[in-house]
Structure 1
C-alpha cells in the first residue's frame, strides 16, 4: 500500500464509528460477505474508501476495463474471503490497484498497416496519376514487458515519405518512442495512442526532419494488422 493510501486509511479509521459506513445500505445486505462488511467498522471504512477510489478511477481510464477488473476482484478476491483479515487484505490490495489505474500498458509485437493508391503529379487534365499501391506501416517489436522498438515507414502523395526508428516504452497513454535520444537537435518523440481499430500518432516538432515535404509523422491513423 502506498504511503498516501496508508495515510488516508489511517485518517478514516480515526473517525468516530458513527461517522463511517459501508458504501451500500446495510439494511439491504444480501449475502454473508455484505453482512460481514457491515458488522466490521474497519471493513466498512475500507468499503467506503473503495467506492470513492473506484469513482475516481472511472474519470481517469477505460470504464469498461475498470468494470472487468472490478468484477474479477469481487469474484476471486473479496467474495472468497471467510474472515475479516482476508477481507481487509483484499480491500487494501484493490485500493492500491485503483490508485494506480490505468496501469501502463505492456508493449506487444504489433503491425499497423494501410495500403493506398500510389498517386503522383502528372501532366494530364487531372494533374494526378495513380498507379499501383503504396504501403504505410508502423511495426512494434517487444523487447521487454514495458520496453520495445518502433519502426515506421509512411508513404504520401507524389512519393514523399517518413521514416522513424527508435526505442520505446509503455506509458499510461500508449507507447512512446524516441529517435536520436542523445541529440536534442534531432530528437524525435513519437507517441502511439490506441484507438478502437489501431493507433493514432502524436509527433514532436523535430520529427518533421524525418519526412519529405508532403509527409508527417503526426496524426497518422493506421489499423492493426496483427
Structure 2
C-alpha cells in the first residue's frame, strides 16, 4: 500500500499549483464569441489559434493607434482590412485563409511605424516630415525639402547621423533642439483628437540644415497612403 505523508501531500499540492501557474489561459478573441453571428466571427471562435490571432491583432492595433498622429488614416487602413476579410467570408470561411490574412496583418502591424506628412507649395519644391513614434511622449523625426531632385534642406544632415527625438510637452506642442537649432511643433487636432496638421517653427540656428533662403518652418498635412494588407 502506498503511503503519502503530510509532507508528501504538501509537496504534491505545490507541484499541482506550479503546473497550473505555468499554463497560461488561452487568449481570447477581441469580441464576445457568445454573440458571434457572421461566418467570419464563427470561424474565429471555433479555433483557439484564430481567437489568439484576433486578440493579438486587436491589441497591436490599439497600441499603434494610441501613439500615431494620423489616426484617421490608420483607422481607415484597419477598417478596409476588416471589410475585405468579412466580404471574403460572406457565406463560408476557409480557416486556413483567415489565418493567413491575420498573420500578414499581425506582421504588418508589428513592422509598421512611420508616418509621412507633406508641405504643399505653388512651386515645384516638396517638403516632407517623417515621424516614427518612440512612445506616447517622444517621436523620432526627419525633415527634407527638395526641388526636382536637388536637396534644399535635410535634418538629420546625413543618413549616418543620429535621429532627432522630439518630446511632447502637451497634446498640442512638441519640441527638439540641438545646439543653436530648435524646432517647435504645433499640432492641430480635430474634435476627436486626431492630428490634422503639424506646423514646424525653426530657429535661425537651423539654417545650417538648408541651402540658400530655404528653411525648416512649414505647415505639414498627412500624406500617408496606408492600404490594407489583404488588398
Choose between structure 1 and 2 for higher RCO, CA contacts under 8 A separated by at least 6 residues.
Answer: 2
